Structure 1
Amino acid sequence: MRYFVFIMSTLAERHQLILLRLKEEGNVNVLELCRDLKVSSVTIRKDLKLLEDKNLLFRTHGGATAGNPYTSDRHVSEKEKLHADEKTEIGAVAAELIEPNDCVIIGSGTTVLSLARNIKPKGNLTVITAALNVATELNQHPEIEVLVLGGMLRKSSSSATGVYAERALDDFACSKLFIGVDGIDLEFGLTTTHVEEARLNRKMMATAQKTIVLADSSKFGRRGFGRICALDEIVQIITDSGISDHMRKSLMDMGIEVTIVA
């Protein structure tokens, strides 16, 4: 929602608006608050510091969020149990985008694993992946040719990363890349918790004609350690109905197709 301009002089009134906006939108921006409240950036940053000291928000570069924006690495077996129903629905919708005789890349993560489980090949299909669990899932289909990228195996994700996997992609061209991420931030872009995985994802993006992100709504407003890319480099995001209206509209304003599963 868009707020009308306030002219506020008291600390309590400013804090009330900041917390209200956080509740509605999930994040606030220093420059927008300065404009709406007619105060300096120094004043707003002090306000955000006071609210953070009370554990009411988390400060970020250029603003603040309602929840902790930083995500930590977890083992794939633990992540698979989180938001399982949403991931299944996201994977089913993503599988419908695969065309007969397609050639696609599938990244690593539990949401793209749900995609692999929902694929019903129409004609032949070639899949390139660095994720062992994705490769194992797809290998049961005689119509699917699976090319597994080699490299250093990450124990937490059971997927390969590193220069060998990146170099192998130089020899291919694919129609689509399906990736999962650990964080989607309007300013910082797409992120993962592992910097080598972020590098491999960027290489995968260069190999594919378009990038489709599969992410449940808990990933929005979060940041991982390794930055993959800016949001304007992706074509589509498939997520669930937990995404906020503000986030959905912001993404669509960037030209990104947002598909929300039931």
Structure 2
Amino acid sequence: MQRHEIILNTLAKEKHIEVLDLCKQLDVSAVTIRKDLKLLEEKGLLFRTHGGASLENPYINEKAVIEKEKISVEEKNGIAQAAAKRIDENDSIMMASGTTIQALSKFIKPKNKLTVITSSLHAVLHLIHDKNIEILQLGGYIRHSSASVIGSYAAHILENVSCSKLFLGVDGIDLDYGLSTTNLEEAQLNQKMLVSTQRTIVLADSSKFGKKSFAKICDLDAVNEIITDKGISSLTKKKLEEKGVEVTII
């Protein structure tokens, strides 16, 4: 069917499509589009999502940090370098966990003093060699898969601090669901971080878009900027900007 070909061609280009956009493009009802998507999913050609469809399974399973480090390495390094430029002289920042956050720690070279609060053990191992960086390592239980701290002890420390920027890594970014991760306690700690910062900058390679995981961190209106790579679709970029999110593509 020609309509199915158009849907698949659009999906191949955009990676994620929405029912309402397809309705306008094909001049048919939402009921018709949903039937088309259901049929195409049954054939194994796409995955249905809330309000649309994706080429990749939108539901994320947890992977160990050692596996994640091997994925999209060039993109993560580019994103990390761009993020490092957001750090000002005598700044105070917060760094969550994740492999893109680890990459960021390699590119931080403060001109003067810098204060870093982080839950990431790997980030600390990179930052500790620079005497200009004062580090507050959050304490608590260690999440082995991400080599990061989680739990109420870490959250309690955040009640008494404030930073200019939070650099946040995520497992999924969905236009409706928002930001998410695979671990509930990590999501709760990220929520505490959001309250303790003036500006939230999400570091995410393009594979994270159109995906969601078990634990929601926040809606997109809590995000100031997303730094990503050129694999993001033009449609996703446009919709993020319509929601007030600044999108920087490296």
TM-score, with length taken from structure 2: 0.94
Q: Give deviations 1:223-245, integer Å, cap 9, x for gaps.
A: 12111111121111111122222
Distance 1:249 1:39, change over 3 A: closer
Which region of structure 1 is more displaced relative to structure 2, 15-24 or 181-190?
A: 15-24
Q: Are 1:19 and 2:19 an aligned pair?
A: no
Q: Are 1:257 and 2:214 an aligned pair?
A: no
Q: Distance in 2 between matches of 1:136 and 1:122?
A: 20
Distance 1:249 1:40, change over 3 A: closer
The corresponding residue for 1:154 is 143
Q: 1:176: Cα distance to partner?
A: 0.2
Distance 1:86 1:41, change over 3 A: closer
Q: Distance in 1 between matches of 2:21 and 2:103?
A: 39
Return the match for 2:236 from 244, 247, 261. 247
Identity of counterpart residues, as a percentage? 54
The corresponding residue for 2:205 is 216
Q: Give deviations 1:122-153, integer Å, cap 9, x for gaps.
A: 21111101111111211111111111111221
The corresponding residue for 1:112 is 101
Q: 1:20: Cα distance to partner?
A: 2.7
Which region of structure 1 is more displaced relative to structure 2, 205-214 or 77-86?
A: 77-86
Which region of structure 1 is more displaced relative to structure 2, 169-178 or 36-45?
A: 36-45
Q: Distance in 2 between matches of 1:181 and 1:187?
A: 15
**Letter matched to residue 125 of structure 2:** T
Runs of 4+ in 1 over 6 A off after TM superposition: none
Return the match for 2:185 from 196, 202, 219. 196
Q: Which runs of 5+ in 2 are unaligned?
A: none
Q: Distance in 2 between matches of 1:174 and 1:19?
A: 45
Q: 1:252: Cα distance to partner?
A: 2.0
**Letter matched to residue 131 of structure 1:** S
**Letter matched to residue 88 of structure 1:** N
Q: How many aligned positions are there?
A: 250
Return the match for 2:71 from 70, 75, 82. 82
Higher Rg: 1
Distance 1:84 1:34, change over 3 A: closer
TM-score, with length taken from structure 1: 0.90
Q: Secondary structure at the match of 2:159?
A: helix
Q: Distance in 1 between matches of 2:94 and 2:67?
A: 24
Q: 1:27: Cα distance to partner?
A: 2.4
